[in-house]
Structures are given as structure tokens and as C-alpha cells.
Structure 1
Amino acid sequence: MENQSCVKIINEWDIVAARQLGRNVAKDLGFGTVDQARITTAISELARNIYLYAGQGQVCIEKIYDGGKAGLRILAADSGPGISDLRQVMEDGYSTSGGLGAGLPGVKRLMDEFVIDSEPGKGTDIKATKWLR
């Protein structure tokens, strides 16, 4: 799919690469600097989660079009341990890393659409979408 680019997340430099990719795609689509920052923050959080909890995975950025709307979708996927309590990780302030990251609730707030699918022992897939206003 030509509208999609992926970065494998294996080390911390990959988080930077994923952020850069997201910023470039957001800029290409015409997102303003504030939304670019929201998108790169969301990517950073998702990529860091893969790195910290799953060890490896990938972050894909795709341009999406729906009718007359354009947007950017982040697809974060890993085959790590998965999340046993989705409700808990979606609570504000919940952290297992002791970090002050925005966490998944932060990603959900930064983006327009957020879907998480996780199965313990199988991994986690997250789709987060931002529409161009």
C-alpha cells in the first residue's frame, strides 16, 4: 500500500524515526504545527510502549481519505505480552513504567479516533486517527 509507511520498533532510535515519519506525513497532508505536535506525541507514546513492554513491533503511518476528508492513521502493532486489563491502562494517571508519559489515555485525547485490541499472550494492535480540519 503506497499510502502506508512503517518503522520497525526495536530500539530507542526507532522511536525517533517513527516520530519523524509521522511529522513528515502530517506536514504532507497539510496538518498545522499544533496537530503535527499532537500526532508526533501520540506516535512517540505508542512506539515507546512497544519498546518498553513488547520489546519489538512496528508503527505504521498511513494517509487515509474518507469522502472529502483526509487524515492520518497510526497503526501500532506488537506481539508482546498484551494488556490484561484494558480498562485500567485507559485510566488517567495509570503507569507501569513510573513515567510521566501521557499513556494510552493521552493518545486517545490527542487523536480523533482510538481503537485498541489486545490479547494477553498475543500482543496489542492500536489504531489512532487524526482528521484534517
Structure 2
Amino acid sequence: MRIDTESDVAAVCRVVRSLAEHMAFSRSAAYSLATAASELATNLLIHAGGGQLQVAPLTGMRTGIELLAEDHGPGIDDLRLALTDGYSTAGGLGCGLPGVERLMDLCYIDSVPGHGTRVRAVKWR
């Protein structure tokens, strides 16, 4: 999904929660996924002026849902600092990326200052 407006953030949250429920995730896991999607989508909007958030079911040896957020924004200068609770460059609470890390089972972040950021997060059922 393309994330360009606050409405897009709300839409991706609904899609993620619905997919999680359809895939028989627990209610709490479905809400964790929706919250992580909200944080990633909001970051795309606020920090990069928009981007892409892909949502994909994972099947095979394990069942899960993958969130893949990509943008061509300014990137993250100090990833370690960005993953610190309470740190914010936009005046928020500073719990977005650290929260995604806590809510998801896997979280990989690749960011190149001046070129953009890619976050891959997976929640297993």
C-alpha cells in the first residue's frame, strides 16, 4: 500500500488486523501487528513524506505476517539512537521504532542517510 495520508495509515491498520484474524492469529497478536503497521506507516508519512508499506502472509514451515516499509526519505543518521525509547526527531513520544522491535518477532532496519529506509518486520503465529 502506498502511504501518503493519515487515511492510508488507518487503512493499512485495518488490512493488517483483518489479515491476522483471517490467518487465525490471537486477538492480541492481531492488535500487535496493527500497532506495528501503524507505527511504520506513521513514520513513512512523518519522516519521509510517504512511502510504501507491503503486507504479506508467510506460509510454509511457519505461518506469519511480514510488514515491509520502504521510503526514499532522508534516512536515519543514527540508527542506535533512533531505537532508543524516548528519542524523537519529530517531537513525538519516541516509541515508534523501539515499539515495532518489541511487538514483532523479527525486525531488520536498513537505512542510508540521504537515500531512504527499509524496515522488514515479521510476526509469527
Counterpart of 1:47 in structure 2 is 41
In 2, the alpha carbon distance for the partners of 1:36 and 1:101 equals: 23
Structure 2: 5+ residue stretches without partners: none
Size of the aligned set, in residue pairs, is 125
Aligned letter for 1:91? T
> SS of 1:100's equivalent?
coil
Shift of 1:66: 4.0
TM-score normalised per structure 2 = 0.96
Written as runs of structure 1 = structure 2, the 5 A alignment for 1:1-133 is 7-67=1-61, 69-100=62-93, 102-132=95-125
Kept in 1, the 8 Å contact 2:55–2:68? The answer is yes
Aligned letter for 1:60? Q
Shift of 1:98: 1.9
- 1:48-82 deviation digits (Å, cap 9, x = unpaired): 00000100101111011241x10000000101010
Structure 1: 5+ residue stretches without partners: 1-6
**Runs in 1 of length 4+ with deviation above 3 angstroms?**
none
Kept in 2, the 8 Å contact 1:56–1:78? The answer is yes
- 1:24-47 deviation digits (Å, cap 9, x = unpaired): 111111111101110011000000
TM-score normalised per structure 1 = 0.90
Q: CA RMSD in A?
A: 1.0
Q: Percent identity?
A: 46
In 2, the alpha carbon distance for the partners of 1:106 and 1:45 equals: 8
Kept in 1, the 8 Å contact 2:87–2:95? The answer is no
> SS of 1:95's equivalent?
coil
